[in-house]
Amino acid sequence: MPDVRVLIEAVPQTGLTAERLRQAVAGHPEVLTALEVADPGLLSIGFAPGLGHDPAGDAPFQATVFDPAGNRAVELRGTLDRPERAEVRPSSFRPRPGREEVQAAAAVLRADPRCPTGQDVVIYRPMPPLADLENPDGTTVRRPTLGIYTPGEATGLRHRIVAVDVAAGVVDWTPAGINVRMHHDCEHTVPEGVDALADHGGPDQVRVRVVDGESELWNLLVVRPRASAPQNPGNGGGVELRQVRYRGRLVLRQAHVPVLNVEYEEGTTFRDWASSETRFSATGTDPVGWGWRLCTSPPRTILERPGSDAGNFQGVAIHHDGEQLRIVSELQAGWYRYASDWRLADNGDIMPRFGFAATANPMTCMVHRHHVYWRLDFGIDGSGGDVVEQIDETGSIVPEPVPIIRETTRRRRHPARYWQVRDKSSGRGYQIHPGAADGTADAYGVSDLWFLRHHPRELDDGNPGPRDRAAISRFLDGQSINGADVVVWYAGHYHHDQAHPQPHQGELIGPHLVLI
């Protein structure tokens, strides 16, 4: 389509800045008492977005306030207009180490005389991100982990994973609970060091419009991974879409990946995060500043350019190929690399996609499964009067939809063919067709789809375990979804076995949402 244009405009997010939230904490003695901290300047506080579909000045918010010295946190729940009156709750959430904390830990490590030196030595982020230590009195010490990659090591010990007590300036070279095989080296891509990635600012959110001549095909908000929901608490959601409209009609209120898990056959599990942007290749212009690129050719993540963990761009790349809009970012969680990829076709179809890769590490050559959970908050025509139906394989030429009227969960197995979410009045909506490589849940993956009634705080499962297992089913309470605002959680399960890479290892997985 030679007349198709992609327009990008920066749009601020609604919420409390870290500075405003810190002011509220300073005026909230209950927070300081609970954390036993006198100076709010010592606390770790992030942006607190407004919750709900169209958050206004009095919208609810929730935010975690963390004390890194005491390794303790509390959660605030209040409204944006009166954060000083927020309710204070205990919280077990521990934010992953940020860039500054990781670099401080790396400085402590490099000062240790046992740290290897040499041009080929790489200090990188491993899994898990923390190896906290419990003291005899029950308090805990926060300790970020660091990986040391030494490819020229004569003994074959290419990987070491250490824990660093930054405050004490102490390195633990054999941290308990780090279950990895140090004498093996999986994957071929050398990881980027902890100093390689930088955040140079740029907007957190933009409005993207796809215009064909005089007609507007798509109009949506795109949130970059570093600011994606759920965070504070939560682990981000990759590239997040909000207020998605096709030809002027609302189809999705919010779409993201709040839960991302890995399970190894030998028993190790990880809860990954989807908020850390890493570098990949994208050629084009940056119309709204750093971190947003309008591409003249398809972007290439580590999946399209294996062997390299570098690139000329970090953020969100946007490209229209004549038939569809692609919105792409590459994410890092320890040694894992993920491609967060949305495809919005000119005909109205939507293809959520997620891809899986890794850099050199001591573990991923072992058989494991990735489990990715999309959260799709439908808002067909914006009325909130949605219905959910299952279409089974019955042998009939004309399928008969079976209504689903209460919150429930489903597996992708016979006789189910696909599901659909429609507006009760207009009949418009989307069919949800499983991807060929999306798999079926095992016991750890829990399930394949959840159909829920929308609640603004049900963005994050809280990672309550056991073993980091997705806890989306805790949102099931039997509410009616007939004529409601429907949220669908869709899970994809990716099997990674280097010894048997077929049929789909290295490919993107995800469903096909077909416009009705």
**Bridge partners, 218 (sequence order):** 210, 246
Mean pLDDT of 139-149: 96
pLDDT at 404: 97
Q: Cα torsion for 343, 344, 350, 356, to the nearest 10°? A: 10
Q: Which long-range contacts (CB under 8 A, 24 or more apart) does 85-93 make?
A: 86/24, 86/28, 86/61, 88/28, 88/30, 88/31, 88/34, 90/34, 91/64, 91/233, 93/64, 93/66, 93/233
C-alpha to C-alpha distances, 82 to 9, 20, 21, 58, 233, nearest whole angstrom:
30, 11, 10, 8, 20
Region 366-374 average pLDDT: 96
Q: Do the domains 205-515 and 10-91 match in fold?
A: no
DSSP 18: H
Per-residue pLDDT tens digits for 387-430: 999 999 988 888 889 999 999 999 999 999 999 999 999 999 99
Domain ranges within the chain, ordered by starting residue: 10-91, 99-172, 205-515
Residue keyed to tokens 């599990």: 269
The per-residue pLDDT for range 423-467, each reduced to its tens digit, is 999 999 999 999 999 999 999 999 999 999 999 999 999 877 678
Q: Facing residues of 161 across strands?
A: 147
Pick from 129-138, 182-191, 490-499: least confident: 182-191
Token readout for 421 is: 């979410």
Percent of the chain with pLDDT over 90: 85
User: Residue 323 burial by CB count (10 A; 0-12/13-18/19+): exposed, middle or buried?
Assistant: exposed
pLDDT of residue 152: 78
User: What pLDDT sits at residue 265?
Assistant: 93
Higher pLDDT, 306 or 367: 367
* 96-105, 176-185, 378-387, 450-459: segment of lowest average pLDDT: 176-185
Do the Cβ atoms of 369 and 263 come closer than 8 Å?
A: yes
pLDDT of residue 185: 86
**Mean pLDDT of all residues in the chain?**
93
- CATH architecture for residues 10-91: Roll (3.10)
Residue-level pLDDT at 331: 97
Residues forming beta bridges with residue 249, ordered by sequence position: 246
Bridge partners of residue 164, in order along the sequence: 171
Contact 328, 305 (CB under 8 A): no
Q: Is residue 157 very low, low, confident or very high in pLDDT (cuts 50, 70, 90)?
A: confident
205-515 — its CATH code? 2.70.98.20
The whole-number pLDDT of residue 128 equals 94
Q: Is the pLDDT of residue 155 over 90?
A: no
Tens of pLDDT, residues 201-234: 999 999 999 999 999 999 999 999 999 999 989 9
Residue-wise pLDDT tens digits, 46-70:
999 999 988 988 999 999 999 999 9
DSSP structural state of residue 370? E
pTM for the whole thing?
0.96
Is 30's pLDDT higher than 50? Answer: yes
- For 398-438, the three-class secondary structure string (H helix, E strand, C coil) is CCCCEEECECEEECCCCCEEEEEEEECCCCCEEEEECCCCC
Task: For tokens 């909000």, name the residue.
Answer: 242
pLDDT confidence of residue 392? 95
Mean pLDDT of 258-280: 95
Helical ranges in 288-413 per DSSP H: none
Q: Determine the pLDDT at residue 154.
A: 63
Average pLDDT over residues 370-399: 91
Distance CA 133, CA 140 (A): 5
Q: Is the pLDDT of residue 1 over 60?
A: no
Q: Which residues pair with 369 in a beta bridge?
A: 263, 495
pLDDT value at position 251?
Answer: 97
Cite the DSSP H helix spans in 27-121: 29-35, 99-111
Tell me which residue of 86, 83, 64 sits closest to 74, measured CA to CA: 64
Highest mean pLDDT among 186-195, 349-358, 377-386: 349-358
